[in-house]
Amino acid sequence: MNKTKEKNTIPKSSLPQQANGICIQGYEGSFHQVAARHFFGKNVEVIPCASFRQLIKLALDANSSKAAVMAIENSIAGSILPNYNLLQKANLKVVGEVYLSISQNLLVNKGVGLSDIKEVHSHPMAILQCLDFLESHPYKLIETEDTALSAKYVHQHKSKHIAAIASKLAAELFNLEILAPDIQTQKNNITRFLILQRTKEAQPIIGANKASIYFQTNHSKGILAKVLTEVAKTGINLSKLQSMPIPGSHFKYGFYADMEFDQLKQFDNMMNKIESLTNNVKVFGIYKKGKLVKG
């Protein structure tokens, strides 16, 4: 436990050198880094964070980072609800997004064959996503905290009996071979990542066509339907609506919504229309809708 904490703590002396880095959850070679590369470019400097809470903390510190990449939902597992709560409390803006098609791969040291493998290491979710492939082989499955760390472990131990499930980027970074590519059972496995920047530094996005907001209602009969009707009248596409309990309330709910539009004035008009029907409204960001990219 202590070693893990020491490993993931960024020394104060190194913070100035990392002020242009991008916070990611996980380690180098993780899918967060893959998403960061797609948005910021291949040479982006990343700052690994052991948790989403640490990611938010460093993203808020101007001396620690430039921005952050944070997963918010998956096409199979659904929304990452705790991350919505983190966003609600943080003074960060959504300035972009990445839809990443997740490719899980069996990684080994050079020269290793399928019959040599005795153990496969990876994060529990990655193992679950690849069960059809894994159950067709007599491998012992070892759950770890991170896919990229599993790849690093295989690289460090140089064993021909150990494999990892991780990204193609992890194979590249740790000089491993992809013995079996795309071994996930469900091929349509997409994770959506948000690009976050400190509110005071976030600039208006030219060509923005999407917004993420939060709102509450007074919970009177039919009030949510009235809100959604006003949204529809403005020609906005409500691409996501996520309800979340309001802390401290008796099963009352607030709503996170993603809205797509052709022109910004549509969004401004919609916000004016729902003003009298909602309260505690927060705009997380107005940005460009992300495109699907390969992981």
Please, which pLDDT band fits residue 219 given cuts at 50, 70 and 90? confident
What is the phi/psi pair of residue 272, to 5°?
-65, -40
108-139 per-position pLDDT tens digit: 999 999 999 999 999 999 999 999 999 999 99
Fold classification of 105-180 (topology level)? D-Maltodextrin-Binding Protein; domain 2 (3.40.190)
Ranges of CATH 3.30.70.260 domains, the chain: 210-287
Averaged pLDDT for residues 84-90: 94
Please report which confidence band the pLDDT of residue 209 belongs to, taking 50, 70 and 90 as the band edges: very high
Whether pLDDT at 238 is above 60: yes
Q: Where in the chain is the domain with CATH 3.40.190.10?
A: 2-101+189-203, 105-180
Q: DSSP 3-state helix, strand, coil percentages of the chain (rounded to 5)?
A: 30, 30, 35
pLDDT for the residue numbered 10: 35
How far is CA 290 from each of CA 61, 105, 138, 195, 209, rounded to the nearest angstrom?
26, 24, 40, 10, 10
pLDDT higher than 80, residue 195:
yes
The pLDDT of 213-238, averaged and rounded, is 94
Query: What architecture (CATH level 2) is domain 2-101+189-203?
Result: 3-Layer(aba) Sandwich (3.40)
Q: DSSP letters along 24-77, please?
A: EEB-TTSHHHHHHHHHH-TT--EEEESSHHHHHHHHT-TTT-SEEEEEEEETTT
pLDDT at 277 over 60: yes
Give every CB contact of residue 51 below 8 A, 6+ residues apart in sequence. 25
Please check whether the domain covering 210-287 is classified as CATH 1.10.275.10. Answer: no
Q: Over 60: is that where the pLDDT of 222 sits?
A: yes
Percent above pLDDT 90 for the chain: 87
